[in-house]
Amino acid sequence: MGLTMTTLTVKCPTCHKTVTWAAENSFKPFCCERCKLIDLGEWVMEEKRIPGESLELDINENEDQFFQ
C-alpha cells in the first residue's frame, strides 16, 4: 500500500474520467489535451454566438436612430 499520500483527483469536465491533480498534468482539470481542446472549442463557439446575435441587434438599432 504505497498510496498513503493525499492525492487530489478531479473529474475531467469533458469525458468525466478521474484525473490526478498533479503539477506535471498541464491539461488539468482535463485528462488530456484532446479533452481540453474540446471544452475550449465549445466555449469559444458559445462566446462567438452570443455577441454575434447582440451585435446584429445593436447595428439595427443604430441604423434606426441614424435614419430618424
Within residues 1-40, the interface with Zn ion by CB under 5 A covers: 12, 14-15, 17, 31, 35
What proportions of the chain, in percent to the nearest 5, are helix, strand and coil?
A: 50, 10, 40
- Asked whether the beta carbons of 21 and 29 are under 8 A apart, the reply is yes
Total of chain residues touching Zn ion, rule CB under 5 A: 6
* Nine cell digits for residue 58: 445593436
9 vs 62, which CB is nearer to Zn ion?
9
10 vs 15, which CB is nearer to Zn ion?
15
* Nine cell digits for residue 24: 506535471
Measured from the CB of residue 37, what is the shortest distance to Zn ion in angstroms?
11
Q: Which residues bind Zn ion (CB under 5 A)?
A: 12, 14-15, 17, 31, 35
